Amino acid sequence: MKMVEIVMPTNLHIKPTLTFNPSASISTWHLRKKPRGTKTRKLGAVFASISTSSHDTIGEELWPRSELCGNNKEKRASKKRVFFLDVNPLCYAGSTPSLHSFAHWISLFFSQVSLTDPVIAVLDGEGGSEHRRLLLPSYKAHRRKFSRKSSAPQKYPSERSHVVTDILTKCNVPVVKIEGHEADDVVATLAGQVLQNRHKVVIASPDKDFKQLISEDVQIVLPIAELNRWSFYTLKHYISQYNCDPCSDLSLRCIMGDEVDGVPGIQNVVPGFGRKTALKLLKKHGSLQNLLDAAAVRTVGKQYAQDALTKHADYLRRNYEILALRRDVDVQLKEEWLVERDRCNDLIILSNFFKLLEQSKRPTYRRGSHSKIDQAPIGKL
């Protein structure tokens, strides 16, 4: 029986006991450095090339006083926005586990992005990637290799998870973690249920896998390390960047592969089959399945492409099964997750968290090493 872990917020109001000075409480210079292996390095030009409204790019002020506790209520669109917070990527600075990174990004997120809109946080469940690894052993293999080489104590991931969950629930954010499922699949499933309730979905994550969900009612908001802010990524941004419909995003990635996640593309077996060919065929046929069905009964392109699609059809279908986000996870959206978030606790909870991090010995960041605060046991906040 799989374990479903849902931690609900307490909805308590906590009286502040200290004043938070965002400019003095914590150094975040290392978070502004360009992390290795970043998935957003080419997005700056995309954002700059598109004229956006005032809420499309997020400014630098950390705690606007007028917005605390909902004193400054904005005019909302006709459809309510529901945010999904993909927690795991925020807990890393590059490839190094970092509670500093988590504290930095959620402080910006709560104060400048989600405000009082509902937020649902999702964590990876234990063994969440196993069904994909059974299909393809190389799936996220580099991440397992990194974990084995990590010098952090074995208890560290569990302790970090408890700290993160504690902070989020005290900020009135429900936390969902389901054994045997990656956070991406849980988000995709719950997002579908939110859309059925006629709300808009905003997914806070740097993970490119979520681009397959983009539509008029589904947006992504990305943590851009180079700019030290969150930026919205919409259907308009996607079309400008890729010059194709996001409905073809998953099919294109199945053909081209995903080097970061260890999923090989068709060019590994047919070197001449490149992105240009894939885009041309998908624009004509719409999806990978339609393309494979057509190639099975007639010629759909040049001979090398035709041979690749017929000979390696199972190869491409396997990629689809691995890269497609599942939308059938056994989890149900709760009505209380859709109410306006009470943010009156944010200032004191995050201030104390920053203070705890600063009270520990300031970490020394070296390539391939962990900070002392991130390795140390974390006491009660």
pLDDT band, very low/low/confident/very high, at 2 (cuts 50, 70, 90): low
- Residue pair 85/122 in contact by the 8 Å Cβ criterion: yes
- Residue pair 201/84 in contact by the 8 Å Cβ criterion: yes
Per-residue pLDDT reduced to its tens digit, 228-256: 999 999 999 999 988 888 888 899 999 99
Is the full-model pTM beyond 0.85?
no
- Pairing relationship of beta strands 92-93 and 96-97 according to DSSP bridges: antiparallel
Residues 227-265 as b/e (b if ≥16 CB within 10 A, e otherwise) read bbbbbbbbebbbeebbebebebbbbbbbbbbbeebbbeb
pLDDT value at position 6? 82
pLDDT value at position 11? 56
Instruction: Find, among 113, 126, 367, 79, the residue nearest to 223 by Cα.
Output: 113
325 burial (CB, 10 Å; 0-12 / 13-18 / 19+) is buried
pLDDT value at position 10? 61
pLDDT value at position 5? 73
Instruction: State the chain's mean pLDDT as an integer.
Output: 79
Query: Residue 209 and residue 204: Cα distance in Å, rounded?
Result: 12
- Residue pair 274/265 in contact by the 8 Å Cβ criterion: no
Per-residue pLDDT reduced to its tens digit, 36-53: 444 444 455 554 444 343
What count of Cα atoms within 13 Å lies in the side-chain half-sphere of residue 166? Answer: 15
pLDDT value at position 157? 59
Query: Residue 101 and residue 79: Cα distance in Å, rounded?
Result: 31
Query: Residue 285 and residue 351: Cα distance in Å, rounded?
Result: 53
* Amino acid identity at 348: I
